[in-house]
Amino acid sequence: MNAGALDIITQSFVDAMKTGAGALAQYALPLLAVFATIALYMQMSALVASGSGQMGDTLATTLLFLVKTGIFYWLLVNFIAIAEAAFLTFLQWGIAPTGGGLSAATFLNPSALVDLGFRAAAPLDQFLGNMGMWAKGFNPLKVFTFQLAYTVIIVAFAFVALHLMMTIIEFYLAVLVAMVMIPWGILNPVAFFAEFAIGWVTGGLVRVLVTGAIVGVAIPLFDLVTFRTTSGGDPTFYSALIVAITAGIFAILAWVIPGRAALIAGRGVSLALHGGTIMAGAASGARGVLFVTQAIRGVSSLLRR
């Protein structure tokens, strides 16, 4: 077994999430129909209770509601394809600043990072392997330090590969959940379910972008961060520590920054949808209703003449 097992695990999860999203898609449209019917009755009852019995008000409200329902229908029918295209687009944006050191295929194969870690730590492994028992016995501190540095480098890249796996799997899991959460958005009292799903998906896209940018730095970075050698060709004590510290810092950055960016992005979308966007949408809807109502009334008066 080699690091390619990580790619198999990741692809298995992604395929399962895609299959699950397709299976849940059959429930999306029935949910939309149910919630759209409830929302229509709620709007009409509010219109009747307010005393607006004009035909223009009713037609305008119904027309705008049908347009809104049609947008939700189109989004649900095409959501999986849109999400896949968005994932590849944000990934391409993320790896673009790295100068071509990372491809989309590399990003989707976390084993490449594990192999990179072993290549970066290879001089230490070679040095420890070439040391005899007597040399190890007379230099215990050096052996311990080199072994610790080797372990830190390998574990750091393994953690970055794990984060990459989590980023890919979590995004497709968000798409799966969104298939049955988005229809709730058409009904205002339960629209927070759709806000949660959209925030999760957009946060995942931002995480893909930032992770792609940070991971893409690793390949040229560790071409520059190399071991200095002694006259005998052995890695120096100082350079071993520097490479290990660099790998540890890289792992922390690759783990923390994308997660924080995704959290801010998802929370920002949720707050925007919950607050200003909804209020603006409501105001725009009211203005639209007023405009359409006035237009219908104008046409009706012309026909009566």
CA distance 85 to 124: 42
Find the helix or strand (DSSP H, E) in which 14 lies. Answer: helix 4-49
The yes-or-no verdict on residue 265 having pLDDT over 80 is no
Q: Residues with Cβ < 8 Å from 293, sequence gap 6 or more?
A: 54, 56, 57, 60
CA distance 284 to 276: 12
Residue 88 structure tokens: 């590849």
**What pLDDT shows up at residue 129?**
74
**What pLDDT shows up at residue 102?**
65
CA distance 63 to 44: 12
**What pLDDT shows up at residue 136?**
65
**What pLDDT shows up at residue 43?**
72
Among candidates 89, 107, 287, which has minimal Cα distance to 205? 89
**What pLDDT shows up at residue 199?**
87
Look over the chain and give the mean of its residue pLDDT values, rounded to a whole number.
77
pLDDT confidence of 227, banded at 50, 70, 90? confident
Locate tokens 């480098």: which residue?
153
pLDDT tens-digit profile of 77-104? 999 999 999 999 998 888 887 665 567 7
Residue 115 structure tokens: 């192999």
Residue 124 structure tokens: 């230490």
The set of long-range contacts for 123-128, using a CB threshold of 8 Å and a minimum separation of 24, is 123/227, 123/229, 123/235, 124/149, 124/150, 124/153, 124/227, 124/235, 124/240, 125/150, 127/234, 127/235
Residue 150 φ then ψ, to 5°: -60, -45
The yes-or-no verdict on residue 177 having pLDDT over 80 is yes
Among candidates 71, 69, 79, 86, which has minimal Cα distance to 24? 79
The yes-or-no verdict on residue 295 having pLDDT over 60 is no
CA distance 55 to 305: 18
Direct distance between the N- and C-terminal alpha carbons of the chain, in angstroms, rounded to an integer:
85
Averaged pLDDT for residues 282-293? 43
* C-beta of residue 240 within 8 angstroms of C-beta of residue 147: no
**What pLDDT shows up at residue 246?**
85
Portion of the chain with pLDDT greater than 70, in percent: 74
The structure's pTM equals 0.76
**What pLDDT shows up at residue 237?**
76
Locate tokens 């969104």: which residue?
178
pLDDT tens-digit profile of 187-200? 888 888 888 888 88
pLDDT tens-digit profile of 19-30? 888 888 889 999
